[in-house]
Amino acid sequence: MPKQTFFNLPEKKRQTLLNAAEKEFSRVPLYEASVANIIKESGIPRGSFYQYFDDKEDLYYYLLNRYTVKMKELLLQSLQKQDGDLLGAFGDFFAKVIYQQTNERNVKFLKNAFLHVAQKMELSFSRIFLDKSHPRFEDILDYVDSSRLNIRDEKDLHHIIQIITAVIFRNFVEKYANNLTNEEAAARFHKDLQLLKDGLYKEK
Amino acid sequence: MPKQTFFNLPEKKRQTLLNAAEKEFSRVPLYEASVANIIKESGIPRGSFYQYFDDKEDLYYYLLNRYTVKMKELLLQSLQKQDGDLLGAFGDFFAKVIYQQTNERNVKFLKNAFLHVAQKMELSFSRIFLDKSHPRFEDILDYVDSSRLNIRDEKDLHHIIQIITAVIFRNFVEKYANNLTNEEAAARFHKDLQLLKDGLYKEK
DNA sequence: CATTGTAAGTGACACGGTGTCATAAGTCAA
DNA sequence: TTGACTTATGACACCGTGTCACTTACAATG
C-alpha cells in the first residue's frame, strides 16, 4: 500500500501522479513499465516517488485495486438486477464490463493487466490441449469420447476444453500458491470436476 | 526459439546451460531471474548466451515448452486409460502431475510458472467476489440465490465461485488478447455459462 | 517571533542488469 | 596456406532502480 504521505498530498498533485501512472501502465505491462517514465510524465522527483510507494508494484496494485472495487460494485448491481441468479448475474456483469470500457486508456490498462498475466503462460498451457502443431502427438481431441458430452458440434467441444483448462489451471495455482497437500489438491479438483459434470444448477 | 547454434552445441555444454537455467528459473519467477546468474552458474560467456537466445524469455519459454510437451503426453495416457472420458482423464491427469513432481527443482519451476502468472493478478481479481475485507460492500455471497444451485453447503458455493471466476477471467483474457468484438466476446461467454449451468455431460 | 523538532522533498549516485559489437578463434574446403 | 564463413568472447555503453545525505516546509512551543 502507498504510504500515508501519499494520501496527505494535495489532491491535484496526487491526481497528476496517478494519471501518469495509469498512462504508463496502459502503455506497457507491469514489468516493462518504468518508474522513470512515471516521474518524468508527472514531474515528481525520483526521491519523492519512493517516499510515497515501496516500488512500482506498490503503485500498480493500488491502481488495480481501484479497478476491482469498481468491478465489485458492478457485480453487485448485476446480482440484484438478476434476483440472485448467479450465472445470470455473471453474464450481465461480463457484458457490462466490456461494453462500459469506452475510455481507451482504461481498455489498455485492463488489457495489460489480463494479458501480462495470462498471455504467455496460460496460453502456452492450454496449447497442450488444442494446438495441433504441438510435437509428437496427434490431435488429442481425437481421443475424447464426445458421445458422453453435452455438445452439438466441435465448437462446443472447444468451449468445454477451454472451461476445463481454466479450472485445472486455477487448481494448479491454488495447489502451489497455498502449498496444498497432494490429497487436498486432488480432492478439491475432483469436486470441481463433479460440479462441471453435473452442472452448477439443479436440474429443472 | 533458441538459434540453431544452440542446438549445434556439444551435448554436455548444452545440458550445463539448460541445467543452470532451470536452476535460476526455479529459484525465482521469470522477471526476477537474471541472465547474469545463468551464465555465472554455467560458465558460459555473456556474448555466447546472446548467440544462442534472443533473451531471457526465449530460453524460458523453451524450457516451459519442454514441460508442456511432457504434460501433453501424460494427458494422452490418461485419456486412453479412461476410455476417452474427458473429465475422468483430467482428474487422472491432475493427480499424475502433482504426485509425479517429486524432484524439488521441478516443483519449484512449476510453482514459479503458475504463480508468477496468477498469484497477484487473478487472486486480486477473485478477491472481488470472496474477500470480505474488500471495501464498501457486504459479502457479495449474501446476494446469491443459493436455492437454484447444485450445492449442499457453503464450501460447494465457494467451489462454484472459483469455477466461474476462472472461466470469466479466461474470457476477459481472450477478449483482450484476440481483440474480440464485444458481441463475439459476450456470445462466447454466454455459451460457457450455458455449459456450466447444464453441465458438461449429458444427463444420464 | 525565534526556536526547535518532525515530516516531506530532492536529486546525485552507487549498484546491477541488459544487449551489443569489435575482435579473436575455430573450421573447413579449395 | 589461404580465404570465407561460423562461432566465441568480454569489455562496454546504456538504462533503470532504490538509497541517502542534505534541504526545505511547517507547526508547535516558550
* C-alpha closest to that of A21 among A65, A54, A46, A56: A56
Buried/exposed B1-21: b ≥16 CB within 10 Å, e otherwise: ebeeebeebeeeebebbbebb
- Report the pLDDT value the prediction gives residue B138, as an integer from 0 to 100: 62
Which residues 6+ apart lie within 8 Å of B166 measured at CB?
Answer: A166, A167, A169, A170
Q: Which residue has the cell 515528481?
A: A44
> How many other CB atoms sit within 10 Å of the CB of residue A103?
10
pLDDT by residue for chain B (204 residues), tens only, comes to 999 999 999 999 999 999 999 999 999 999 899 999 999 999 999 999 999 999 999 999 999 989 888 888 898 999 999 999 999 999 999 999 999 888 889 999 988 888 765 556 656 677 777 776 665 556 788 888 999 999 999 899 989 989 998 999 889 888 988 889 999 999 999 999 999 999 998 875
Smallest Cα distance from B42 to chain A, Å:
26
Name which of A137, A149, A192 is nearest B163 (Cβ-Cβ): A192
Give the count of Cβ contacts less than 8 A between chain A and B: 292
CA pair distance A150, B34, nearest whole angstrom: 47
**Range B19-24 contact pairs with CB under 8 angstroms and sequence separation of 24 or more:** B20/B44, B21/B59, B21/B60, B21/B63, B22/B63, B22/B105, B22/B109, B23/B105
Model ipTM value: 0.89
Q: Which chain C nucleotides are covered by protein, judged by CB under 7 A?
A: 7-13, 16-22
Using one digit for the tens of pLDDT, what is the confidence trace for A77-120? 999 999 999 999 999 999 999 998 888 899 999 888 887 655 56
Q: Do A76 and B116 touch (CB under 8 A)?
A: no
> How many other CB atoms sit within 10 Å of the CB of residue A43?
10
Q: Do A145 and B83 touch (CB under 8 A)?
A: yes
- pTM score, whole prediction: 0.90
Residues 10-49 of A with CB under 8 A from B: 31
C-alpha cell at B65: 515448452
Residue type, A127: R
CA dist B66 to A86, A164, B83, B106, Å? Answer: 39, 22, 26, 12
- Report the pLDDT value the prediction gives residue B199, as an integer from 0 to 100: 93
Q: Do A127 and B68 touch (CB under 8 A)?
A: yes
CA pair distance B97, B104, nearest whole angstrom: 13
Kindly tell me if the per-residue pLDDT of A56 is higher than 90.
yes
- Report the pLDDT value the prediction gives residue B129, as an integer from 0 to 100: 75
